Amino acid sequence: MISNYNFAYLDEQTKRMIRRAILKGVSVPGYQVPFASREMPMPYGWGTGGVQVSAACLTPDDTFKVIDQGADDTTNAVSIRKFFEKTAGVAVTERTSDATVIQTRHRIPETDLTEDQILVYQVPIPEPLRFLEPRETETRKMHALEEYGLMHVKLYEDIAKHGEIATAYAYPVKVEGRYVMDPSPIPKFDNPKLESAALQLFGAGREQRIYAVPPYTKVVSLDFEDYPFDPSRADHPCELCGAEDSYLDEVIVDDAGGRIFVCSDTDYCAARREKGEAA
């Protein structure tokens, strides 16, 4: 590695501060640990929280993967991957199964993660109660008192207005029966995958919060007995690989309103096509 950066860009004292926050996050699953988020060489909203968590976790032996809405080849994913290639000298990959640390924006890979992997989420608004109660002093008290009635009222109002729980992404979950947590804006299709063999870390740079879901932690999507949680999916196979079990993006293909559905996870889709499982 030829570069004038400290390993993984951040200075050691900053990494120690972030590492201590990550460990407390692991000890109290779902609780948002405040941390002194640094300015990163990218704007807020581009994954500065995830980047700081990744920087604190990466070792020289890691293989790093970055996805943005499931895709390895979008601007955000490519630039963050290049950032750590340059500043940490780590190996990079687009294959989910080859990666040891995966940074993600708004998706969980389709391929099941293993015990040897860490999934780092970029989080815009970590506080699940923020749009219901704007004051941090109040939401903090609500978490302390386990006062989550407001969230159920919100889901109930969804049902009253739309006939179903209309929240489709950033669907709130309860972690290990204690903290209500925002799983970042992943589609609710991904919520069942929050119970994973991999360690999951969440970083919100602008909002200065880190939280964690350790492996095999119980993660329950909030719902009602008569309106159970439904991880919905577009009712189509993938146009490219034929997969019927993956999360799909809708793509407009012409000016006449023509549209197709393709896998959002580009690695999953490409691997299936390589294996010749195309429809």
Partner 1 sequence: MEMTAMDGGFADAPREAALAFRAALQVLARPGRIDRLAGAAPPAPASPAAGALLLTLCDPETGVYLAGAHDTQALRQWITFHCGAPLVGPEQADFALGTWAALQPVGAYRIGTSEYPDRSATLIVETEVLDPAGARLTGPGIEAEAALSLPELAAFQANAKRFPLGFDCYFTCGDRVAGLPRSTTVTEAG
**Binding stretches for partner 1 (CB under 8 A):** 6-8, 12-13, 15-17, 19-29, 31, 33-34, 56-61, 115, 140-141, 143-145, 176, 178-179, 197, 199, 212-218
CB of 140 to partner 1, least distance (A): 5
The residues that bridge with 119 in the sheet, in sequence order, are: 102, 200
| Length in residues, the chain | 279
- Out of 25, 30, 49, 205, which one is annotated catalytic? 30
Nearest to 71 by CA among 94, 99, 47, 44: 94
CB of 195 to partner 1, least distance (A): 11
CB of 5 to partner 1, least distance (A): 10
Nearest to 127 by CA among 97, 148, 106: 148
Nearest to 271 by CA among 65, 104, 102, 94: 94
Instruction: Assess contact for 202 and 126: CB atoms under 8 A.
Output: yes
Cβ-based nearer residue to partner 1, 24 or 273: 24
Kindly tell me the burial class for residue 163, based on how many C-beta atoms sit within 10 Å of its own C-beta (0-12, 13-18, 19 or more).
Answer: exposed
Cβ-based nearer residue to partner 1, 104 or 246: 104
Cβ-based nearer residue to partner 1, 146 or 244: 146
- Out of 163, 205, 238, 242, which one is annotated catalytic? 238
Q: Is 57 assigned a catalytic role?
A: no
| Catalytic residue set | 30, 238, 241, 263, 269
